[in-house]
Amino acid sequence: MTPNKAFSEAINKHGVSRDSLLPVLQYVISKEQWLKEETMEEVAKAFGMSAAEVYGVATFYSFLDTEPRGRYVIRVCRTISCDMAGKKEIIESLKNELRVKTGETTPDGMFTLLETNCMGWCHKGPAMLVNDDVFTELTPDKAVAVIQEYREKSKQ
């Protein structure tokens, strides 16, 4: 098994003491969007933990995905303020544009569509995250334009 590149970089940067576990997993996510089984096994070995424990920690946090994710993970806020501001229409327009359901990834592996809990933009809803980037005061058209922007970006 060849060592995972992102993982090697992560432990070079953060080390393998227990309090570095989250930073290491977060680093891998920032490069690969999700944690593969093999990666979690490698992490466990390096940290001297059981793979089950690494899995247990990872699955606790909604940003440490253990299922396949696209290059761009879209998280639309579903909490009440964004809901009242029209979150449903945003989800519908994204589903149409991407041709996936909530929770699914586009076949080209580019986008994953998820919902998330309050992300702290309640006065400017509806809001969504694409990876770490924030988009607020969305309209269905604006949401689609954001997707197109990322498509363009991925071609560069």
Contacts with other proteins, residue ranges (CB under 8 A): 18-23, 25-26, 56-57, 60-64, 78-81, 83-84, 116-123, 125, 129, 132-134
Smallest gap from Cβ 99 to other proteins, in A, equals 26
Alpha-carbon span 56 to 156, nearest angstrom: 37
Output 109 or 120, the one with its CB closest to other proteins: 120
Smallest gap from Cβ 133 to other proteins, in A, equals 6
Alpha-carbon span 33 to 131, nearest angstrom: 9
Smallest gap from Cβ 29 to other proteins, in A, equals 8
**Residues in contact with 58: Cβ distance below 8 Å, sequence separation at least 6, in sequence order:** 25, 35, 40, 64, 66
Is-contact 151 110, C-beta < 8 A? yes
Output 18 or 151, the one with its CB closest to other proteins: 18
